[in-house]
Amino acid sequence: MGSLPRIGLDRSSPVPLYFQVAEQLERAIVDGALVPGDRIEAEIELAGSLGLSRPTLRQAIQVLVDKGMLVRKRGVGTQVVGAKIRRPFELTSLHDDLARTGQPAGTEVLSCAVVEADDEVGHELQVPPGSPVWSLERLRSVRDEPFALMRNYLPVDVVDLRGADLTALGLYELLRHGGVHLRVANQRIGARRAEAREARLLAERRGAPLVTMTRTAFDDAGRAVEHGDHLYRADRYTVELTLVDR
């Protein structure tokens, strides 16, 4: 049975109050100050003790409910969920993921050029077939062991990859710096055998099982911004995600 540490608020900060509360609640759960099954103080009381209105505190709790870390039950209260929430599967690229885990990841850019979109790429990116798009192919490694072969397509008017250092920044990071705000992505995950070229690049045997992932991402204007077709060595990579049912 844990207890909630004191929550401090900074009303002069540009960070919204509900977000400040949500952050500190999340840290309390992650740090173990609140353990699964613990009940949070009732909304009205907690709001009162923090000098906040109930809607504001409720909004803070909602953030963590959406993340699957808290569960509300009418007439009962709000409890910490027993599941260890893995980092939710966010709209970040592999580069960001790896950087966070501290793994020194290597990137080799195999090709980066403007090509004409074929039918599939044009359809996914919502541009006419034959339109110029960036075509990018990268090989990702950890400790000199390759594990991901990634091909991406981007409309030329979204970003200019000339001179971009894709070994230092992830693709999504580059897009963010370019003012592109990603909001939605459709993914499809499957598996298939490695073909000859793929096997060679990934230091695998031909026919070895690979995890496949295709993804199309859209920005906050609803514009298709990126389409990717990625291959992962099955023995070195799995996709983890947390589902929340509301």
Applying CB under 7 A, the residues found at the interface with DNA are 14, 16-19, 40, 42-45, 51-56, 58-59, 72-78
b (16+ CB within 10 A) / e for 232-241: bbbeebeeee
As measured in angstroms, the least distance from the Cβ of 20 to DNA is 7
Stretch that binds its own copies, among 18-26, 127-135, 196-204, 215-223 (CB under 8 A): 215-223
Query: CA 166, 171, 175: angle at the middle one, nearest 5?
Result: 115
Query: How many C-alpha atoms does 45 have within 13 Å on its Cβ side?
Result: 5
Closer to its own copies by CB, 71 or 201: give it.
Answer: 71
| Beta pairing, strands 209-219 & 224-233 | antiparallel
Q: In angstroms, give the least distance from the CB of 13 to its own copies.
A: 19
Which two tokens mark 69?
């870390």
The gap between the terminal CA atoms of the chain, to the nearest Å, is: 26
DSSP code of 14?
S
- Min dist CB 40 to its own copies, Å, is 13
Q: Which CB sits closer to DNA, 8 or 14?
A: 14
Evaluate whether 102 touches 96 at the Cβ level (below 8 Å): no
Q: What is the footprint of its own copies within residues 76-105 (CB under 8 A)?
A: 79-86, 89-91
Nearest approach, Cβ of residue 90 and its own copies (Å)? 6
**Cβ atoms within 10 Å, residue 43:** 18
Please say whether the beta carbons of 4 and 34 come within 8 A.
Answer: yes
Task: Give the shortest CB-119-to-its own copies separation in angstroms.
Answer: 17
Shortest reach from residue 13's CB to DNA, in Å? 9
Q: Which does 211 bind (CB under 5 to 8 A by kind): DNA, its own copies, none?
A: its own copies
Q: Which does 18 bind (CB under 5 to 8 A by kind): its own copies, DNA, none?
A: DNA
Of 161, 157, 164, 154, residue with least CA distance to 216 = 154
Interface with its own copies includes 184 (CB under 8 A)?
yes
Cβ proximity to DNA: between 45 and 145 the closer is 45
- Give the C-alpha separation, 137 to 155, whole Å: 15
Judged by DSSP in three states, 118 sits in coil
- By CB under 8 A, what part of segment 221-240 binds its own copies? 221-224, 234-235, 237-240
Using CB under 8 A, list all residues that contact its own copies: 36-37, 55, 66, 68, 71, 73, 79-86, 89-91, 126, 182-193, 207, 209-212, 216, 218, 220-224, 234-235, 237-246
